[in-house]
Structures are given as C-alpha cells and as structure tokens.
Amino acid sequence: MHSLYTKFILGYLLFGLLGFITIATLSSHFTSRYLIEDKAGILYDEATLIANTYSTQYQGKNQDLASAYPQLQAVATFLQTEIWVVDQDGTIIVDSAFDKVGTVITDFDPTATGNNVYTTGRYFGLFPYDVLSVSAPITGNFQTHGYVIMHLPISVVQANSNDILNIVYLTCAIVFGLSLVILLVFTKTVFFPLKAITKAVNEYASGNLNYRLKLDTNDEMSYLAATLDYMATELNQMENYQRNFIANVSHDFRSPLTSIKGYLEAIIDGTIPPELQNKYLNIVIGETKRLTKLTEGLLTLNSMDGKGFLTRSIFDINHVIKETAASFEGTCSTKNIVFELTFVEPIEMVYADLGKIQQVLYNLIDNAIKFSHPDSVIYIQTSPRHEKIFVSVKDTGIGIPKNSIKKIWERFYKTDLSRGKDKKGTGLGLSIVKEIIQSHGENIDVISTQGVGSEFIFSLPKANN
Ligand code: ADP
C-alpha cells in the first residue's frame, strides 16, 4: 500500500518535473522566436537607414562608397553584425568585415525572405555558422540599385535568449523551493498528525484502549485526536464496567445457588436429619428470594438504562410515605424500630411516577432499618422549597465510611461494614434509587457519618395546581 504521503510526494515531484519541462520547452521556443523577430525588426530599420544613405550617394552618381566605411563599421561593431552592400547582380561591393568584397553571390535572390523581412541559415553558404539576415533595397529614381544586407550570428541571439531563460529557470527553482516549504508545513500539520491518529486508531482497534492520543496542533486535527481519545477512554470505562458487572452478577448468583445446592444435597443424602429439614428448607427459600430480588433489581436497572419510560401522575407524597412505612411494620417490631414522620404541610402533591417513587422509598427505608441498631428511631421528613418537595430518610445506624460514600451508588457495591451485617443485600438498591430519581430530572444526596447515622435526601417536582 502506498501511503497518502508517498503519493503526494510522487505527485509533487512529477508535477515539478513536468512543469519544468513544459516551461523550459515553451519558454525557450518562444523566447528565441521573440528575440529573432525583435532583432530582425531592429536590424531592418538600421538597414533601411543605411540604404537611404546609399540611395543619395547613388543618385549623386557617386560610386565611391569607401567614404562610408568608418560609419558602417561603427554600426556593424555596435550591433555585432556584418553589413554588406550588394549590387543588383549579387556582387558584394561593400563588406564591413572586408573579407568578402567582390564575392558574387550565386543564385542571389533578394526576395528569398518570403513574407518575413529576415532569413536564418548560412546565407547562400557564405557563412560557416547560422546567421540572421535582413536586407533593405537601395532605391532611387524608381529603380533598385542594390541592397544593404545585415547579418547577425544566431549565437548572439542565442546568448541573449539563454540570459532570459536563466532568469526563467531561476524563478521556477524559487517557486519550486517555496512550494517545498508548503510541503514541509503540510507534512507537519497534516501528515504527522494523521499518522499519529491512524496509529492510535489501530491501537484501539486491536483492543489497547489505554493508548493515549495527544496532539497539540490546536486545529481540527487536535480536536479530532481529542475526540478519539475521549471515545477510547469512554469505551475503556464501559469495558471495565461491564467486566466488573459480569463478575459481580456471577458472584452474587453463584453464592446463593451454591448454598441452595449444598442444603438440598445434604437433605437428600440424609446428612441433615428430617427434624432439621424444615429449618434448612426455610434457608433455601430465603436464598431463592434473594435470587428473585437480584433478578428483579437487574431487570429494573436494565429498564432504567434505556431512560426508563416514566408514567407520571399527581399524588400526595406524604400519603405514599405513610403507606410504605406501614408495610415495614413487621420488620420494625422485631427490631423495635419506630418511624417519626414530619410533614411541613399535611398534603404535599408531587408530579412523578408513583410506582417508581414507592420503590425509592422502599429501598431507602429498607436500608435504614437494615443498618439501624435495635430500639432506634427512623426519621422521615418532607418539606417544600420553591418548586420542589424535599424528602429525607434519616437513621441513627452504623453510617457509611467516608471513603465509601461516593461508591454506594455503584451497582453491587456494599461497604465492608454492611457486608457482615447484611448478607441478603444485593448492592443494587441505591443504584436503582439513583437511576429513578435522575430519570425524573431530580437529585439525590447522602449525608453520613460512620457510627452516627445516615440521611438520604431527594427532591421531587411539585405538582402545578
Ligand atoms: P444493599 O442491597 O446491599 O443494601 P444498596 O445499593 O441499597 O445495596 O446499598 C449499598 C451499600 O450502601 C450498602 O451495602 C451499605 O453498605 C451502604 N448503605 C446504604 N444505605 C445505608 C444506610 N442507611 N446506612 C449505612 N449504610 C448504608
């Protein structure tokens, strides 16, 4: 697989190469053509000027052209050209370089330039190298007496063209260099972060959710990285939570099942004598009740997870508290525990899910009784504040150790203190309570001191009259 970066670099280099070839070919072609035409124009103007001078001399019938030599040579040197004056028959009568005077140009055809005012080549084989030639007729009295022909070596034009091309190439190199800087910036801001993100995603995909992804580019890349990192943390937490959850569920199911199996086997094989069987069968029933409670608790939590659908109605919370407390009469009398109910208003109408709030009260009162000492009082209070009714369930029992306070809302959590005292607890009661209160959009809090007691306070929305 070619990485995006390799493709990009290859593309970039290819683009650079093709761009350079195109620019080099086109610019060299156009520059040469432009320079030749430009030079030809200049030379033609000059040749015409000289032709006019000779025209007057011809008209004055002054055939001695020697007097014009110094001026002709000065112009020739200045323009780096060779200047000839050729008569009608093609005989060179004046040559700024002297060496071709008297030479007859075979097949001389002054119109050979076609549409252009110039020709390029070796000019009838008279030069060993390529020249640019222009010719201007010497006219007078409606006759052509001869021609002024100027030759410029193509190498001079080529040298000029090379100077210009060097500037073009240098500009190209600078542009290419600048784009290289952009490429480096791209590498740092896009490619490296992308590589880091890909590596992290691969780590996550292979199950290493502890891998941390940190980018400090302060742009969309670092935002994406932070989002992925957050996703991995959440997934990790969820995975841990699920692992613990399953471990707890299997543990909590296994212990009652083990004791049920043990007692039943002992009854069948006669280890437990018939007169004691009733006692142990009652224990078995107790354990099955615990299993039922556990299953119900899990089912309730499961239904709450999906933002459990609430069936709200308007009811008197004071009345519900009285009813729920009354249902604990039996348990209370064995431990000699009494309730003290305090209602600021005799009737307190709230808008909530009656069945679920009954369950909240049931769980809180059940805990309060379980963790209270015998012969104590449980205080239940309701008080209105603004748009809410606050319900408090307070006991003077064993309390909750400071380091456990936050954990009591977790599923299956039991404090070490309570483990010894309450073997039947599932550790699900308070998680259910919290889920129910939160699904109402309300809050629940606990104030507790180990050895002094605990108070659970939650809010409910007042019913609009
Ligand atoms: P459980 O079914 O075990 O009572 P909960 O979720 O209702 O489960 O409670 C979790 C733990 O919180 C309990 O095991 C206990 O350790 C602690 N707890 C709850 N309520 C009280 C209370 N009123 N007094 C002391 N500890 C409490």
Give the mutation target among 300, 365, 367, 370 for probing the ligand 1 site: most ligand atoms within 8 A of CB: 367
Distance 446 CA to ligand 1 centre (A): 11
Residue 408 CA to residue 23 CA, distance in Å, equals 77
Give the mutation target among 364, 400, 426, 448 for probing the ligand 1 site: most ligand atoms within 8 A of CB: 400
Average pLDDT of the residues in 307-330: 88
* Residue 11 CB coordination number (10 Å): 10
Decide whether any atom of ligand 1 lies within 6 Å of the 408 Cβ: yes
Which atom of ligand 1 lies at the shortest distance from residue 297's CA? 2
Handedness of CA 257, 259, 260, 261 (dihedral sign): positive
Summary count for the chain: helices (H), strands (E): 11, 12
Average pLDDT of the residues in 335-355: 93
Q: Which pLDDT value is given to residue 418?
A: 63
Residue pair 379/342 in contact (Cβ under 8 Å)? The answer is yes
Distance 442 CA to ligand 1 centre (A): 21
* Residue 365 CB coordination number (10 Å): 23
Find residue 393's DSSP bridge partners.
380, 456
Which protein residue's CA is at the shortest distance from atom 8 of ligand 1? 427
pLDDT band at 423 (very low <50, low <70, confident <90, very high): low
- For 91, the 3-state DSSP assignment is strand
Calculate the CA 171 to chain-centre distance. Answer: 36
Distance 349 CA to ligand 1 centre (A): 29
Average pLDDT of the residues in 199-209: 93
Cβ contacts of residue 283 below 8 Å, gap of 6+? 259, 263
Q: Which pLDDT value is given to residue 230?
A: 94
Q: Give the residue, 341 or 64, on which the prediction is more confident.
A: 341
Q: Is the predicted pLDDT of residue 306 greater than 60, yes or no?
A: no
Residue pair 392/378 in contact (Cβ under 8 Å)? The answer is no
* Residue 182 CB coordination number (10 Å): 10
Residue 356 CA to residue 349 CA, distance in Å, equals 16
Q: Is the predicted pLDDT of residue 263 greater than 80, yes or no?
A: yes
Task: Collect contacts of 38-46 with beta carbons under 8 A, ≥24 apart.
Answer: 39/132, 39/152, 39/157, 40/116, 40/117, 40/118, 40/132, 40/134, 41/117, 42/79, 43/79, 43/81, 43/118, 43/132, 43/134, 43/150, 43/152, 44/117, 44/118, 44/134, 44/136, 46/75, 46/79, 46/150
Q: Which pLDDT value is given to residue 446?
A: 97
Q: Is the predicted pLDDT of residue 277 greater than 70, yes or no?
A: yes
Q: For the segment 151-193, what is each residue's pLDDT rounded down to a tens digit? A: 999 999 999 999 999 999 999 889 888 988 988 888 888 888 8
Q: Is the predicted pLDDT of residue 63 greater than 70, yes or no?
A: no
Which atom of ligand 1 lies at the shortest distance from residue 413's CA? 10
Decide whether any atom of ligand 1 lies within 6 Å of the 371 Cβ: yes
Residue 415 CA to residue 434 CA, distance in Å, equals 17
Which atom of ligand 1 lies at the shortest distance from residue 426's CA? 2
Q: For the segment 110-151, what is each residue's pLDDT rounded down to a tens digit? A: 766 555 678 889 988 899 999 999 988 888 778 888 889 999
- Residue 157 tokens read as 């034009």
Average pLDDT of the residues in 225-245: 89
Decide whether any atom of ligand 1 lies within 6 Å of the 430 Cβ: yes
Residue 39 CA to residue 32 CA, distance in Å, equals 10
Distance 401 CA to ligand 1 centre (A): 11
Residue pair 292/319 in contact (Cβ under 8 Å)? The answer is no
The CA distances from residue 88 to 84, 103, 147, 151, in Å, are 13, 13, 7, 18
Q: Give the residue, 397 or 303, on which the prediction is more confident.
A: 397
Decide whether any atom of ligand 1 lies within 6 Å of the 359 Cβ: no
pLDDT band at 307 (very low <50, low <70, confident <90, very high): low
Find residue 312's DSSP bridge partners.
353
In the DSSP assignment, the letter for residue 462 is B
- Residue 391 tokens read as 């319900």
Q: Which pLDDT value is given to residue 330?
A: 84
Which protein residue's CA is at the shortest distance from atom 14 of ligand 1? 414
pLDDT band at 396 (very low <50, low <70, confident <90, very high): very high
Is the pTM higher than 0.75? The answer reads: no
Please tell me the least confidently modeled range out of 30-39, 111-120, 426-435. 111-120
Residue 255 CA to residue 294 CA, distance in Å, equals 12
Which atom of ligand 1 lies at the shortest distance from residue 409's CA? 6
Q: Which pLDDT value is given to residue 190?
A: 85
Decide whether any atom of ligand 1 lies within 6 Å of the 297 Cβ: no
Distance 257 CA to ligand 1 centre (A): 23
Q: Which pLDDT value is given to residue 144?
A: 83
Mean pLDDT of the chain: 87
